[in-house]
């Protein structure tokens, strides 16, 4: 495994290549809108996708409950629809729909929060906008919480497959990303996290109990009341929990293998992503709206809706690859997401990278209950620790110290030391990042963040 990762530079070539890619994407976007003018009606399209998704989830759940479709088909079909709701949530985070109707955005957030059974969208907004500003840096909390920079081992597998896997590594990340308050993180994960733990562990526990009971040749029906609640638990597991595990697992695996980390300069979009569009990844791309192939386009132009991005990505791929953007760099996993390639190791690392996806598919998902117990135990430990700290009245002092620490770790100092390109715009951007990264990003700052990140 390569040990040294020299920092990449912001050269003139890189800056002009970034500008050209950005211009090509915007041109492709404009052509699409000119050809299909209805694309300008973003609010209407959002409402149609939102309502259509909810109707489809209801329909598939009804078909499952009525025994028209099997559990496996239900999980896959609902996961496909949930990937649309995830994209809508992301676009609303970027304020692309109902800009002047915040209450509609908030209503959609509530529904999506329940449907996705994950962290609250308002909290995700804070982390995600900072991800655009700090992508690939040690304080890029959002991506690091889904495994960016980890070695390909059991921990990365757990973080990739389990929707709340980030709790396993959040302690370390909060030391680098000072704005990540562990208490707040846990609080925003608690409601859906506990619901998910309860449903899945009851579902698995029930089936394990039934299995052993039947092995011992007892009649399970003699246990009065044992089956009463199970149909509800099974329906929630099949129609809500498992589709989200599948969707989130596929999304995270695409995301944490398409972002670079650690040895890239701050706010240099050229180095932030690669294009992952190999046929080998089709099963993962299917449940995350082709994330691996299109997310790079989003980093260049965050103000573009996801349904246009999907088509733009195809038309601009040639330009990006011609200008040196990496395509299907599977070795990224064995380099812990570093950009620098060791050419002697690259071929081997690419093969190992492909094996990693197969391992996650055939080992990571089947071992889900293990990760679930591991993360649940960590969740409980965090709660106990918090209660203990409250009782000892130490946590207030500790959190105050964290919040008041004005020194934010960015790569600014590293860049200066390396003598890399530092112009006025960069300095202004760094100042902007420092100004807001410690605090919540307000709705009014979203436009500014989008512009700066572009
Ligand atoms: Zn990203
Ligand atoms: Zn975004």
Ligand nearest to the CA of 256: 1
Ligand nearest to the CA of 446: 2
Say how many Å lie between the CA of residue 271 and the centre of ligand 1: 11
Say how many Å lie between the CA of residue 216 and the centre of ligand 2: 53
The pLDDT value recorded for residue 161 is: 95
What mean pLDDT do residues 241-249 have? 96
What mean pLDDT do residues 241-263 have? 96
User: For residue 286, which of 79, 143, 118, 112 has the smallest C-alpha distance?
Assistant: 79
What mean pLDDT do residues 177-191 have? 91
Q: Cα(97)–Cα(291) distance, rounded to whole angstroms?
A: 20
Residue showing tokens 């699409």 = 32
Say how many Å lie between the CA of residue 444 and the centre of ligand 1: 21
Say how many Å lie between the CA of residue 94 and the centre of ligand 2: 7
Say how many Å lie between the CA of residue 196 and the centre of ligand 1: 26
Q: Cα(269)–Cα(426) distance, rounded to whole angstroms?
A: 13
Say how many Å lie between the CA of residue 131 and the centre of ligand 1: 7
pLDDT at 268 over 50: yes
Ligand nearest to the CA of 454: 2
User: Helix (H, G, I), strand (E, B), or coil: what is residue 327?
Assistant: strand
Residue showing tokens 């089956």 = 227
pLDDT in tens, 417-426: 444 444 555 5
Say how many Å lie between the CA of residue 124 and the centre of ligand 1: 13
Buried-exposed string 194-222: b where 16+ CB fall within 10 A, e elsewhere: eebbebbebbeebeeeeeeeeeeeeeeee
What mean pLDDT do residues 268-272 have? 93
User: Helix (H, G, I), strand (E, B), or coil: what is residue 408?
Assistant: coil
pLDDT at 83 over 50: yes
Say how many Å lie between the CA of residue 334 and the centre of ligand 1: 20
Say how many Å lie between the CA of residue 397 and the centre of ligand 1: 34
The pLDDT value recorded for residue 396 is: 60
pLDDT at 53 over 90: yes
Contacts from 29-36 at CB under 8 Å and sequence distance 24+? 29/301, 29/304, 29/308, 29/312, 32/308, 32/311, 32/312, 33/308
Say how many Å lie between the CA of residue 301 and the centre of ligand 1: 11
pTM: 0.85
The pLDDT value recorded for residue 267 is: 85
- Which of 289-293, 364-368, 407-411, 434-438 comes out lowest in average pLDDT? 407-411
Ligand nearest to the CA of 143: 1
Say how many Å lie between the CA of residue 239 and the centre of ligand 2: 27
Question: What's 157-217 look like in SS3?
Answer: HHHHHCCCHHHHCHHHHHHHCCCCCHHHHHHHHHHHHHHHHHHHHHHHHHHHHHHHHHHCC
Say how many Å lie between the CA of residue 132 and the centre of ligand 1: 6
Longest alpha-carbon distance in the chain: 77
Ligand nearest to the CA of 146: 1
The pLDDT value recorded for residue 409 is: 47
Q: What angle do CA 105, 181, 102 make, to 5 degrees?
A: 10
pLDDT in tens, 426-435: 555 555 555 5
Say how many Å lie between the CA of residue 122 and the centre of ligand 2: 14
Say how many Å lie between the CA of residue 262 and the centre of ligand 1: 14
pLDDT at 81 over 90: yes
Say how many Å lie between the CA of residue 235 and the centre of ligand 2: 32
Say how many Å lie between the CA of residue 371 and the centre of ligand 1: 25
Give CA 27 to chain center in angstroms: 28
Ligand nearest to the CA of 302: 2
For the chain, give the mean pLDDT: 86
Q: Cα(226)–Cα(228) distance, rounded to whole angstroms?
A: 6
Buried-exposed string 306-316: b where 16+ CB fall within 10 A, e elsewhere: bbbbeebbebb
- Rounded to the nearest 10 degrees, the angle between the axes of helix 42-65 and helix 71-93 is 160
- Which of 10-14, 149-153, 183-187, 294-298 comes out lowest in average pLDDT? 10-14
The pLDDT value recorded for residue 12 is: 82
Ligand nearest to the CA of 128: 2
pLDDT in tens, 380-414: 998 898 888 888 866 666 656 665 544 444 444 44
What mean pLDDT do residues 142-159 have? 95
Say how many Å lie between the CA of residue 147 and the centre of ligand 1: 13
Distances from the Cα of 142 to the Cα of 84, 136, 221, 435, angstroms: 20, 10, 47, 18
Q: Cα(295)–Cα(309) distance, rounded to whole angstroms?
A: 9
Contact in structure between 17 and 11 (CB atoms under 8 Å) = no
Residue showing tokens 């620490």 = 405
Say how many Å lie between the CA of residue 5 and the centre of ligand 2: 27
What mean pLDDT do residues 237-263 have? 96
Ligand nearest to the CA of 258: 1
């Amino acid at each position: 495994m390569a040990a040294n990762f020299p920092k990449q530079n912001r050269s003139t070539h890189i800056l002009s290549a970034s500008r050209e890619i950005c211009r090509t994407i915007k041109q492709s976007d404009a052509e699409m809108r000119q050809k299909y003018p209805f694309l300008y009606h973003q609010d209407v399209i959002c409402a149609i996708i939102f309502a259509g998704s909810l109707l489809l989830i209801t329909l598939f759940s009804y078909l499952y409950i009525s025994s028209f479709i099997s559990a496996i088909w239900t999980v896959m079909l609902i996961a496909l629809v949930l990937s649309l709701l995830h994209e809508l949530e992301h676009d609303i985070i970027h304020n692309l729909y109902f800009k002047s109707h915040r209450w509609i955005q908030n209503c959609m957030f509530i529904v999506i929060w329940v449907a996705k059974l994950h962290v609250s969208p308002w909290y995700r907004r804070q982390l995600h906008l900072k991800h655009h500003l700090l992508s690939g840096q040690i304080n890029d909390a959002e991506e690091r919480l889904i495994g960016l920079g980890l070695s390909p081992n059991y921990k990365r597998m757990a973080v990739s497959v389990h929707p709340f896997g980030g709790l396993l590594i959040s302690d370390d990340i909060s030391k680098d990303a000072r704005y990540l308050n562990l208490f707040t993180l846990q609080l925003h994960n608690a409601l859906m996290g506990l619901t998910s733990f309860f449903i899945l562990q009851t579902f698995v526990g029930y089936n394990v109990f039934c299995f052993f009971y039947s092995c011992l040749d007892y009649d399970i029906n003699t246990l009065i009341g044992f089956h009463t609640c199970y149909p509800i638990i099974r329906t929630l597991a099949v129609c809500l929990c498992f589709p989200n595990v599948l969707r989130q697992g596929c999304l995270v695996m695409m995301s944490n293998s398409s972002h670079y980390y650690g040895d890239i300069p701050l706010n240099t979009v050229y180095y932030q992503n690669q294009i992952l569009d190999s046929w080998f990844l089709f099963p993962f791309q299917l449940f995350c709206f082709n994330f691996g192939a299109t997310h790079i386009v989003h980093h260049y132009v965050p103000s573009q809706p996801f349904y246009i991005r999907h088509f733009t990505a195809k038309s601009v791929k040639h330009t990006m690859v011609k200008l040196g953007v990496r395509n299907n760099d599977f070795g990224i996993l064995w380099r812990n997401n570093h950009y620098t390639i060791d050419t002697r190791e690259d071929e081997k690392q690419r093969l190992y990278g492909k094996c990693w996806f197969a391992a996650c598919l055939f080992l990571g998902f089947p071992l889900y209950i293990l990760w679930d117990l591991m993360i649940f135990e960590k969740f409980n430990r965090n709660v106990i620790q918090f209660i203990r700290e409250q009782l000892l009245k130490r946590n207030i002092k500790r959190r105050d110290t964290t919040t008041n620490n004005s020194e934010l770790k960015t790569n600014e100092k590293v860049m200066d030391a390396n003598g890399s390109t530092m112009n006025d715009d960069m300095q202004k951007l760094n100042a902007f990042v420092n100004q807001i990264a410690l605090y919540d990003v307000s709705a009014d700052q979203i436009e500014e963040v989008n512009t700066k990140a572009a």
